[in-house]
Structure 1
Amino acid sequence: MKLFENIINHKINTITDKELLNYANQFGIAINQKQAGQIAEYLRGRQINIFDSAQRTAIIKEIAKIAGPDTAKEVNKLFLQFTKS
């Protein structure tokens, strides 16, 4: 399971706006190109562990500042989809 977590965290830490949009569309989450770009820029290179609920909460709060609370809720839904086993 740890390998799976490492792969997902690596993807989050290196995600592009296009990849984020693709995942959002795949999971039915509404974000636009500008929001995806801002969020991807924030996430890249941060060594985030979305499986740690405290880290995930802090990330969502920062995303809310960047792209608004509604978008942050949508991104949190996406993160929760990634962390389901």
Structure 2
Amino acid sequence: MKIFQKIINHKINSITGKELLKYGKQFQVSITNEQANKIAAHLRGRNVNIFNDDERTKVISEIAKIVGPDKANEINRIFVSFTR
């Protein structure tokens, strides 16, 4: 299970705006290209563990400052689906 978590965390921590847009469409979360790029830039290189509730909550709060709380909650829904 740890290897699976490492792969997902690596993907989150190295995601591009284009990839984030793709996942947004897949999970029916509408974000703009600009929002996706800002979120990706914020996540890239952060070494966030989305399997840790405290870390995920903190990063979602930071994302809410970029795209607003509603979109941040939708992105959190994507993150949670990755952790199951």
TM-score range, shorter chain: over 0.9
Corresponding residue for residue 52 of structure 2? 52
**TM-score, L = length of structure 1:** 0.95
Aligned residue runs from structure 1 range 44-83, under 5 A: 44-83=44-83
In angstroms, what is the RMSD of aligned CA positions?
Answer: 0.7
Unaligned ranges ≥5, structure 2? none
Q: Distance in 1 between matches of 2:21 and 2:67?
A: 14
Corresponding residue for residue 28 of structure 1? 28
SS of equivalent to 2:76: helix
- Report deviation, 1:27: 1.3
Runs of at least 4 residues of structure 1 off by over 3 A? none
Q: Deviations over 1:23-44 (max 9, x none)?
A: 1111111211111111000000
Number of residue pairs aligned between Structure 1 and Structure 2: 84
The one-letter code of the counterpart of 2:50 is: I
SS of equivalent to 2:46: coil
SS of equivalent to 2:28: coil
**TM-score, L = length of structure 2:** 0.96
